[in-house]
Each structure stands twice: as C-alpha cells, then as structure tokens.
C-alpha cells in the first residue's frame, strides 16, 4: 500500500543548489501548464513564497512574463499590504469573487508562507474543488518548504493531495533534509524531472577562496543556551571584528562584502557601526524586517536612503540603482542582516559584480541555515564582467558544512533526477566525504527522546488550529470564540517585553526560534490535558525582533477532540 501512495502522490520535490534557478524552474512549469489550458481546462497556480515582503516581491517580479503574455490580472497578490502593479486581494472572499468568471480569474496567486495564508489557500482550493467555477485544474507551489514544514502543514498538503482538482504540488528548496519522515506520505518523495539543468556558469563552493580561522571559538564548540541572544550577538559580531582587524583589505575601495550578523537588530547595528569605525567611507546596507536602508557618510553627515525603487523590482536591482545614482561604485559596499538575507533573497547584481568577500561566524546555525546563508554568495555569474572569486572567512567547520550540504543538494539532481527518494538518498554524500562530513553529521539536530515506556500517540483523535496575530485582541478573540480561556495576564522584563514560554521556563522569545521548535511538536504538545479534556487553547508570545518591542507575534494553538 505504501508503495502505491508513493507513486500516486501528486507531491514532487525540486531540489537545486542555492541560486541555481528553483524559481525559474517553477515558473517554467507554470507556463507549461497554462499553455495546456485550452485542451485540459483552465488552471490556477497558487504560490506560497517565503514569509517576507521582500521575497514575496521578488517572486512576483519574476512572474512578469505571465502578466505580459496573458494580460492584466493574470497575477494576483494575496496579502494584507501590497502597493505593486499586480491585482491585489486582502481576503479569501475577494479571491473567490475574482474566480467566478474566466475574464477576472487570475492564473497565478502569490501569497506568503504563514499559517493564516496556508489556511486561506487550503480553504480556497477546497471551495473550487466543491463548486463549479471556470477553474478545472489547480497546482500548488511551496517555496523553501523546509523552513515552514510542521505537522499542521503536512496534514494540509496531504489533504489537498487527495482533491480531484489538484493536479500537482511542488516544493522548492536547496536544503530538504527536514521534509522527510521515517514512514508514510513523507518517507519517499518523487523528485522533479529536470531535463536541461545547466550549471556551467554556476559559482559554488569549489569556486570560493576559503580563509579558515579557528582561533575565535572554543574547541569543542558549545552552542549557547536557547534564546541567549546576547551571547549569539557577542559571538557573531566578535568574529566579524576579529576577521576585519586581521584582514583590513576586506573593506578596501571597490569591494563588495557580505557580512551577515545574527537575529537581533542590535547585531545588525553593531556590524554597521564596526564597518564605519574601520572604514568611514563605506556604504552599509542593512536589511531586516524593520529596516531596509543604504547608509553612507558624505562630508561628515550620515545619509540614509530607503531601499525603495520607482518600479517594483528585486532588492539587488534597487541596490544597484541607488549605488549608481549616488555615485558610490568605488566605495566599499557591505550588506548585513540575517533573517531577511539568510535565504531565498538574491543580493548580487551584474552591474556590481559578485561579492569580493564574505564573513560567516555563525557556528550555532543548523546545516540548512548555514548553507542557505552561504548560498547568498553563490549563483550563475561566471560570465559577469565584474565576477571575481569570493574570499570567504569562516571557521573550518562552517566551510565543511557548506561544502557537504551543497554536495547533498547536487547529488539529488545528478544521481536521482526524477526518482523517488528518501532522506537516506539525500544524505548519501555524508557517508562518502570522510572527516569533512563529520562537521555536518555532528551538527544534525536530533529530537530528544524520553526514556521509558512510550505512550501511544492519539494525535489522530484531535484537530489542531495554529494561527498568528500581530495584535492581542484578535488572538484573544480566537481563544474566546473557540471556548478557551483568554490570555489577560503577562510577565514582562525590565524593558517591557512580554515573557512567554514553550516549556516551563519563561523568557523573551524569538519568533524564528519558536517557529523552529514548533515544527517538532505533536498536536497535544504544550498542553496540560486531563482525561476529560475535549478542547484546550494556548498563546505563545514571541517577537520578530527581540530588540524591538513593537514586533510581537501572538501564536495561538487550539486543539479540539474529534
């Protein structure tokens, strides 16, 4: 039976090296399906992009060819905020209204990857499956699925996989390790068939010049305790400072450096201040959830320019334009940040050239995270006039992890193109790369197992709803409407931040860390249930930026017995 599920599943996985063209592959697939609409029936393509406005805009920008070919309204952005040129809806009802007639029905719908939009997408697909509309075929695409995969999303994907109207589900990632499970639907997954993969122009790990420095971190390295952002900032910024003092030419004129910090904005500011202290004529670009600016000094005055362009475009294009407009080409240019630059975002541009240097001191990151971060300096650029090999400064362990993870991704396309594969197939290079592979193997984060008799899992007896809100009133309204107690009392730290917990210890929680932890939770995790319980609700308060009190995210988890 399991082999039958593997072959009949509509779910396929596209694994390519970072910056090698996953978005292009997805768009080519979309265009190929739209061209078959006259014979097979009208199709709609729902794309869940990374949960940042920058990546949403980047993916939408690359869909221009469909809008130009099939007319205005072919692309629709489903978002609470949008000021671009495409059609825009704010609610599922608005989207359903557009889809009542073929003339107004979009061909592609772009939305962010978060629990609310996942719910909207699933309910929309169920609606068109159950009702008569111009749409005969539906395709779903999940960008960087490894970042968002959790039990709730797995169930949603399995559910839409069963719907007649759904003809294909495609996941895109360069680091798929977390997507597989030991059994069932997710144990064996078919890879997309890539017929003409060209990588001769690709710049990867073998094209970098690594300068390994192992004097900063203790050996063996011990990761800071959970949510110890002060220590993470100290480590990351401290490593950057050591490297810049040892190699001041990194910030020489006519250079372009990628120097990511850590999660908190304080570390982004620290890197910017450090760069200006060492090289006052530098240009520093900070990209995070609340600041996207280019900053430089002119006649002793600091000038700050928002990364905004007159036309909707990608951030690399905006940077290139601003550098040209303000005649900054000859100055050292530095890009920093983390979450908004750590995955999915293209930062290099032909007019500026490849990065001349990069500094990675992020020993705490998972294999997936550090490879994705390293991926910002890779891509198709060997034919650029201003291409140079990038000098990469990092500990040996980080170099090894990036090389191994790149080989794992490369192995998928090279050895298993179009095949049904398991996690074992993906990790094959780890068993063939000797001591280098141990840096990655030792960094695989295993879930802790509780010793003793294992209690039978009854998750199938419960329904889980997980939602996110940016204000407390809406979060409490959901709890109250679901028959659960509202959250009215909070503990705060000395700076006014709300303290919360995912376990028994309260702390200032990072949204990114909490979401990462929740991917391993079962439906009943985190609830103190009695035998007679039929429902329960819980609110976890985290911050997108633990240095900015205006960035809370209220995560509400509600379970009800079926």
pLDDT in tens, 532-542: 888 999 999 99
CB atoms within 10 A of CB 474: 13
Give the Cβ contact number of residue 455 at 10 Å.
Answer: 7
- Of 49-63, 166-180, 305-319, 403-417, the one with minimum mean pLDDT is 49-63
- Whether the CB-CB separation of 131 and 138 falls below 8 Å is answered with no
* pTM attached to this predicted model: 0.80
- Count the neighbouring beta carbons within 10 Å of the beta carbon of residue 242: 16
* Stretch among 20-24, 190-194, 237-241, 312-316 having the lowest mean pLDDT: 312-316
Cα 124 to Cα 126: distance, rounded to the nearest angstrom: 5
Neighbours of 35 (CB within 10 A): 12
pLDDT on residue 523: 86
Cβ–Cβ < 8 Å for 362, 258? no
Residue 163 dihedral angles phi and psi, to the nearest 5°: -75, 140
> What pairing do the DSSP bridges indicate for beta strands 189-191 and 11-15?
parallel
- Mean predicted confidence (pLDDT) in 288-307: 92
Distance (Å) of CA 180 to CA 114, 437, 498: 20, 20, 35
How far apart are alpha carbons 167 and 11 in whole angstroms? 9
- Residue 310, pLDDT above cutoff 60: no
- Distance (Å, whole) CA 469 – CA 548: 17
Location of structure tokens 């960008």: 143
Q: What is the DSSP letter of 379?
A: E
The residue among 281, 345, 355, 428 whose CA lies nearest residue 59 is 345
**CA–CA distance from 515 to each of 143, 289, 311, 483, 553 (Å)?**
17, 16, 33, 25, 11
Domain extents for the chain?
21-173, 202-414+434-441, 459-561
151-194 pLDDT per residue, tens: 999 999 999 999 999 999 999 999 999 999 999 999 999 999 98
What are the strands, taking DSSP E only, across 275-390?
283-287, 292-298, 301-306, 333-337, 357-359, 379-380
Is pLDDT of 396 > 90? Answer: yes
pLDDT, one tens digit per residue, over 441-497 is 999 976 444 344 445 567 778 888 889 998 899 899 999 988 899 998 899 988 889
pLDDT attached to residue 195:
80
> Nearest Cα to 360, choosing from 208, 225, 226?
208
Best CA proximity match to 526, nearest among 499, 507, 500, 495:
500
More confident residue, 114 or 103: 103
pLDDT at position 311: 61
State the pairing for strand pair 357-359/256-258: parallel
pLDDT top residue among 506 and 8: 506
Q: Looking at residues 94-112, what average pLDDT do you find?
A: 94
- Please indicate whether the domains covering 21-173 and 202-414+434-441 agree at the CATH topology level: yes
Is 21-173 CATH 1.10.3720.10?
no
Token pair for residue 217? 């971190």
- Residue 8: CB atoms within 10 A of its CB come to 8
Residue 231 has pLDDT above 90, yes or no: yes
Percent of the chain with pLDDT over 90: 69
Tokens of 520: 């391993």
CATH architecture assigned to 202-414+434-441 = 3-Layer(aba) Sandwich (3.40)
To the nearest 10 degrees (0 to 180), the angle between helices 115-130 and 151-161 is 20
**Backbone dihedral region of 9: left (phi > 0), alpha (psi from -120 to 50 degrees) or beta?**
beta
Residue pair 244/274 in contact (Cβ under 8 Å)? The answer is yes
**Do 245 and 296 contact (CB within 8 A), yes or no?**
no
- State yes or no: pLDDT of 61 exceeds 90: no
Question: What pLDDT score does 531 carry?
Answer: 77
Which of 554, 516, 536 minimizes the C-alpha distance to 463?
A: 536
How does DSSP assign 137-179, residue by residue? EEEEEEETHHHH--HHHHHHHHHHHT-TTEEEEEEEES--GGG
Yes or no: say if 256 and 377 are a contact pair by the CB < 8 Å rule: no
pLDDT at 6 over 60: no
Q: Which two tokens stand for residue 383?
A: 């034919």
Average predicted confidence (pLDDT) for the chain? 90
Q: pLDDT (tens digit, 9 = 90+) per residue, 203-216?
A: 999 999 999 999 99
Both structure tokens of 145: 């699925």
Q: Are 390 and 417 spatial neighbours (Cβ–Cβ below 8 Å)?
A: no
Mean pLDDT calculated for residue range 348-369: 96
Written as six digits, the tokens of 486 are: 């509202």
Rg (CA), the chain: 24
Q: Pinpoint the alpha helices (H) of 247-348.
A: 265-278, 315-325
Return the sign of the alpha-carbon dihedral for residues 125, 126, 129, 132. Answer: negative
Residues 358-364, mean pLDDT to the nearest whole number: 97
- Sequence-ordered list of residues with C-beta below 8 angstroms from that of 397, at least 6 positions apart, any chain: 221, 363, 439, 443
- Decide: 82 and 75 in contact? Cβ < 8 Å: no
Distance CA 158, CA 8 (A): 12
Query: CA-to-CA distance for 236 and 333, rounded, in angstroms?
Result: 19
Give per-residue pLDDT as tens, 107-163.
999 998 888 899 999 999 999 999 889 999 999 999 999 999 999 999 999 999 999
Q: Using an 8 Å Cβ cutoff, are 357 and 275 in contact?
A: no
pLDDT at residue 57, rounded to an integer: 66
């Amino acid at each position: 039976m399991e082999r039958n599920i593997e072959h009949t599943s509509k779910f396929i996985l596209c694994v390519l090296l970072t910056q090698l063209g996953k978005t292009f592959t997805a768009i080519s697939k979309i265009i190929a399906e739209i061209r078959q609409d006259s014979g097979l029936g009208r199709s709609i393509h729902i794309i869940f992009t990374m949960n940042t406005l920058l990546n949403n805009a980047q993916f939408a920008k690359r869909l221009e060819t469909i809008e130009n070919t099939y007319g205005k309204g072919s692309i629709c952005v489903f978002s609470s905020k949008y000021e671009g040129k495409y059609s825009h809806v704010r609610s599922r009802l608005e989207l359903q209204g557009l889809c009542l007639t073929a003339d107004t029905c979009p061909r592609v719908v772009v939305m962010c990857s978060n629990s609310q939009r996942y719910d909207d997408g699933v309910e929309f697909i169920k609606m068109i499956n159950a009702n008569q509309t111009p749409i005969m075929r539906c395709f779903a695409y999940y960008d960087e699925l490894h970042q968002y995969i959790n039990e709730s999303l797995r169930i949603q994907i399995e559910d839409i996989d069963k719907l007649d109207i759904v003809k294909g589900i495609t996941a895109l990632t360069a680091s798929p390790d977390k997507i597989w499970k030991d059994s069932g639907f997710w144990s064996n997954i078919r890879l997309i068939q890539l017929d003409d993969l060209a990588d001769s122009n690709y710049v990867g790990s073998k094209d970098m010049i690594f300068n390994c420095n192992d004097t900063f971190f203790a050996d063996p390295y011990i990761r800071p305790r959970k949510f110890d952002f002060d220590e993470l900032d100290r480590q990351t910024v401290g490593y950057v400072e050591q490297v810049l003092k040892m190699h001041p030419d990194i910030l020489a004129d006519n250079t372009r450096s990628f120097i990511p910090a850590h999660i908190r904005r304080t570390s982004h500011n620290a890197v910017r201040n450090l760069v200006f202290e060492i090289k006052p004529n530098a240009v520093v670009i900070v990209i995070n959830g609340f600041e996207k600016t280019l900053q430089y000094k002119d006649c002793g005055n600091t000038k700050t320019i928002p990364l905004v362009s007159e036309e909707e475009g990608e951030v690399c294009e905006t940077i290139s334009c601003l550098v040209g407009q303000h005649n900054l080409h000859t100055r050292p240019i530095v890009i920093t940040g983390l979450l908004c630059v750590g995955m999915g975002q293209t930062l290099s541009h032909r007019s500026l050239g490849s990065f001349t240097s990069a500094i990675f001191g992020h020993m705490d990151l998972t294999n997936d995270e550090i490879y994705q971060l390293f991926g910002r300096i890779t891509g198709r650029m060997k034919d650029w006039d201003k291409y140079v090999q990038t000098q990469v400064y990092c500990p040996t362990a980080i170099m090894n992890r990036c090389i191994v993870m790149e080989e794992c991704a490369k192995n998928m396309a090279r050895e298993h193109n179009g095949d049904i594969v398991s996690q074992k197939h993906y990790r094959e290079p780890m068993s063939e790369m000797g001591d280098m592979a141990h840096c990655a193997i030792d960094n695989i984060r295993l879930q802790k197992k509780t010793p003793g008799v294992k209690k039978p899992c009854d998750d199938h007896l419960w329904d889980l709803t997980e939602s996110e809100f940016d204000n407390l009133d809406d979060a409490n309204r959901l709890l109250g409407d679901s028959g659960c107690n509202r959250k009215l009392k909070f503990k705060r730290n000395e700076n006014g931040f709300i303290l919360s917990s995912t376990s028994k210890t309260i702390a200032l929680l990072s949204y990114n860390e909490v979401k990462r932890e929740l991917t391993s939770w079962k439906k009943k995790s985190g609830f103190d249930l009695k035998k007679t319980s039929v429902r329960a609700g819980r609110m976890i308060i985290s911050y997108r930026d633990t240095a900015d009190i205006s960035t809370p995210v209220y995560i509400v988890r509600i379970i009800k017995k079926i």
